[in-house]
Structure 1
Amino acid sequence: MDKKMPQYLTAPYQLLWFEPDDLGIMVVGYMLAMIFGGIFWVVMIAAPVAYGKIKRRYPRGFLRHMFYVAGWTDLRGYPSYYEEEFFE
């Protein structure tokens, strides 16, 4: 086998103890800190830590559903929110 099979298929990718969504928040914080400086250097670290604490209280995938409810994204492969009846 050329490729290794991960031990846990549902485990997200991680860099140190940060998951990809935490890293995305850090990258945005870093860009804001490079542009504006000041308090954004603290936000770069504090925002992912706070988001991680919030994320632990909800089931996996809640952020995608929050974006869907806000109207920022679509859930592909699923019926629309207003469908009362659908056939598989």
Structure 2
Amino acid sequence: MVRFPQYLSQPFQILWFEPDDMAFMAVGFIFAQKFGGVFWFLMFVLPWIYGRMKKRYPRGFLRHTLYFTGIAPMRGYPHFFQKHFLD
């Protein structure tokens, strides 16, 4: 038996950014520090483009895509094949 989380639909946020937006900013910042130039511009444009694309799909699609491809585990959630839950 596994305990089921109370709030599945509320995303974690830092200010108004979700973690996946912040990941694009962090990657852009790392490349901007290393290479400079156009990467400073991409640090702000990539999260904006991703945010517009993200509105066309259900919430959490990137995280679930990474989970189903086996790249990233889903911590704090029941296993995909879990059938019995505690109330």
Runs of 4+ in 1 over 4 A off after TM superposition: none
Gaps of 5+ in 1: 1-8, 81-85
The one-letter code matched in structure 2 to 1:27 is: A
1:25 equivalent in structure 2 = 24
Question: How many aligned residue pairs are there?
Answer: 74
2:6 equivalent in structure 1 = none
The structure that is strand-richer by fraction is 2
Higher relative contact order (CA 8 A, sep 6+): 2
Structure-1-length-normalised TM-score: 0.67
Residue 77, structure 1, aligned to residue 78, structure 2 = yes
Q: Is the contact between residue 25 and residue 43 of structure 2 (CA under 8 Å) also seen in structure 1?
A: yes
Gaps of 5+ in 2: 1-8
Give percent identity, aligned residues only.
Answer: 43
Q: Which moved more, 1:66-75 or 1:22-31?
A: 66-75
The one-letter code matched in structure 2 to 1:77 is: P
Q: Following TM superposition, by how much is the alpha carbon of 1:18 offset from its aligned partner in structure 2, in angstroms?
A: 2.6
When the two chains are superposed, the root-mean-square deviation of aligned CA atoms in Å is: 2.3
Structure with the greater alpha carbon radius of gyration: 1
Q: Is the contact between residue 11 and residue 18 of structure 2 (CA under 8 Å) also seen in structure 1?
A: no
